[in-house]
Each structure stands twice: as structure tokens, then as C-alpha cells.
Chains A and B, each alone.
Chain A
């Protein structure tokens, strides 16, 4: 059974850097095809994808937040860590991590992979306020 749990500070001040940890079980991030992503949701608003890291250490970032985000993995600890710099009150949100599962599609000589988010953690709330 795959489970994920987010942790981090509940309150940060503007301009500070926040570090969020996703601790997971039931899978390994060293297994081919596995990924873990971060998604956030401001109060009363829609979901927004932030970043994702793959088993092979490839990383993807939201273009709008790319300069502020860093995602890393610690395979030995079964953790993924997201760092967001220069926090602002608009970054107040619930932050989720999610496991991704791959699908593939072949076209000629090439195989393309697509990753959907199938298991989510319960989320951790971060409030940005002075």
C-alpha cells in the first residue's frame, strides 16, 4: 500500500525560505518509472502543480515558479524535499505530495511516457504572515 505524508512549518514569515518534506512508503524512488510531485492549493482555490522528481533524478518545475523551487530526493530515507524561497502571503496554501504512475504510448520508433498522480498525501498547510 502506497502512502505519503507531508511535513513542514505551519507558519513562515514573508521573504523566508520554506522546506517541505514528503515521507513515503510502499514504493521506492529508485524503481524505474516512479515519480513524486508537489501540488498546492490556496484556500478556496484550485490545485496548482509545483514540481516533480523522477526515479532517475530528473526534475520538472512549474515555469511560473521555477526560479523559487528546488526538489530533491533521499532514496535511502524514502523522502522528497521541496524548497521554496522568498515566501509571500500569496503562497499561503495546503501543500500536497503525490506518487505518479507511468503510462506509455509508442509511435514509430519512439515510446512516450505519461505520468498521472494516483496517490496523494493528506497535505500540510503553510501560512505566510508576518
Chain B
């Protein structure tokens, strides 16, 4: 079974910091990866699809990269609104697999 592993599980950072979250797949998934942001008590919000495509309306400080088995989500300059939990997800046409999440906390 495919496993998606995110690191770190928790990240402490300050406003203005550059932040990178890593997502590793247990087998190659080409570029079929999405990133979501979730705030407490809210539904996940799509940030990036196909590894590096920014969803409409998402600030340009978010960027995604990678292919195969290793992917990254980078926030170029962390803003107060960005403190949240982030999930990666592999998708195809028959299964959808999430990572365990990375919580970005205020340092």
C-alpha cells in the first residue's frame, strides 16, 4: 500500500520565516500530489495540485515542487494567517492517500 509521510510533524516558526514541509511517497507517484491547508474546526483548503500548480486565489508565497517520491511545500514569508496544519495527498482515479499532517506553530 502507498504511504505518504510528511516531515516534520510540527514546525515552529516566526512571521516572515521561510518554511518548507516535505512529503515522501513510498513509491513513485509522478507529480500527482496536492497540498491542503486546514485551520482548527475548518475544512481543508486546496493550495496546490499536480505538485506545483497554485490553486486560483492562493497567495503566491505558497509554492510546491518535486516529483517521483519527494515533494515540498514552501511558504516564502510566513504570515499570521498561515499558522495551520498542512496535508499532502496523492491522487489518481482509484485512490486518494493523505499524509499525516504538519502543524505550523508560532515560535
Query: A residues engaging B (CB < 8 A)?
Result: 37, 39, 46-49, 52, 60, 62-63, 96, 103, 105, 112-123
Q: Which of B30, B38, B87, B93 contacts A115 (CB 8 A)?
A: B93
How many angstroms between the C-alpha atoms of A48 and B44 in the bound complex? 12
How many angstroms between the C-alpha atoms of A115 and B93 in the bound complex? 6
Dominant secondary structure of chain A at its interface with chain B: strand
Total interface residues on B, using CB and 8 Å?
27
Q: Which of A49, A113, A121 contacts B96 (CB 8 A)?
A: A49
Residues of A within 8 A of B38 (CB): 47
Q: Which of A37, A96, A103, A123 contacts B50 (CB 8 A)?
A: A103
Q: Judging by beta carbons under 8 Å apart, are A114 and B32 in contact?
A: yes
Least Cβ distance of A38 to chain B in Å? 10
Name the CB-closest residue of A to B96. Answer: A49
How many angstroms between the C-alpha atoms of A112 and B29 in the bound complex? 13
Q: Judging by beta carbons under 8 Å apart, are A96 and B43 in contact?
A: yes
Name the CB-closest residue of A to B32. Answer: A114
Name the CB-closest residue of B to A103. Answer: B50
Whether, in the assembled complex, B95 has its beta carbon less than 8 Å from a beta carbon of chain A, the answer is yes
Q: A114-B91, A123-B43 are in contact. List 9 more A-B contacts (CB 8 A).
A: A46-B101, A47-B87, A48-B98, A105-B30, A114-B32, A114-B92, A116-B91, A117-B46, A118-B49
How many angstroms between the C-alpha atoms of A120 and B49 in the bound complex? 15
How many angstroms between the C-alpha atoms of A51 and B34 in the bound complex? 18
